[in-house]
């Protein structure tokens, strides 16, 4: 009987900790743009490894962390034009794509602003492209993935304001 009570108590503590960790709101870490969610696997050179199954988590991370200042080796507007995207680029992040860790860039684009998406959530378009994405050149850019991702509004911690 005592063993059962101790086991039930231990399970309760573990489950409550797991619930707290899984439902904790994302913190705004725009001051530290190198912060990456612990749920996203990292390569040895600290680039997130993204696949079709977890691209939504990475888009959510980019929206909440505000990595709009990344510098690509190509002109982002030319890249989007080369793949027939007319919307404005909101943010981008260098990633490794798929199991082969192919170098690429995750570009978020929308008719809405990044601030609007952060405050209200909703859909944001995303595309993962090859690192040589450009409108110029003989080789068309390679699109690894393209789609729409639903994101929630970014919640700010009350303790950060104190």
Residue 20 in domain: no
User: Can you tell me the distance from the alpha carbon of 81 to that of 74, in angstroms, rounded to the nearest whole number?
Assistant: 12
User: Can you tell me the distance from the alpha carbon of 142 to that of 137, in angstroms, rounded to the nearest whole number?
Assistant: 13
Residue 10 in domain: no
Q: Could you state, in chain order, the average pLDDT of each consecutive group of 10 residues for the chain (162 residues)?
A: 66 58 40 34 60 84 68 82 90 89 91 90 92 73 92 65 40
pTM comes to 0.64
Residue 51 in domain: yes
Report the candidate in 5, 30, 19, 18 with the shortest Cα–Cα distance to residue 114: 30
Residue 119 in domain: yes
Number of structural domains (the chain) is 1
pLDDT at 135: 57
For residue 156, the enclosing domain spans 29-161
């Amino acid at each position: 009987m005592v063993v059962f009570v101790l086991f039930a108590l231990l399970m309760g503590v573990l489950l409550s900790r797991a619930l707290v960790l899984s439902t904790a709101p994302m913190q705004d870490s725009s001051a530290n743009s190198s912060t990456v969610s612990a749920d996203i696997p990292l390569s040895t050179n600290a680039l997130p490894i993204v696949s079709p199954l977890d691209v939504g988590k990475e888009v959510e991370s980019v929206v909440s962390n505000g990595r709009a200042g990344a510098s690509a080796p190509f002109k982002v507007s030319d890249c989007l034009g080369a793949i027939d995207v007319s919307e404005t680029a909101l943010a981008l992040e260098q990633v490794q794509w798929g199991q082969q860790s192919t170098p690429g860039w995750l570009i978020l684009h929308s008719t809405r602003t990044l601030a609007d998406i952060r405050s209200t959530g909703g859909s944001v378009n995303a595309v993962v492209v090859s690192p040589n994405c450009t409108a110029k050149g003989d080789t068309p850019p390679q699109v690894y993935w393209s789609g729409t991702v639903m994101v929630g509004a970014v919640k700010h911690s009350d303790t950060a304001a104190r």
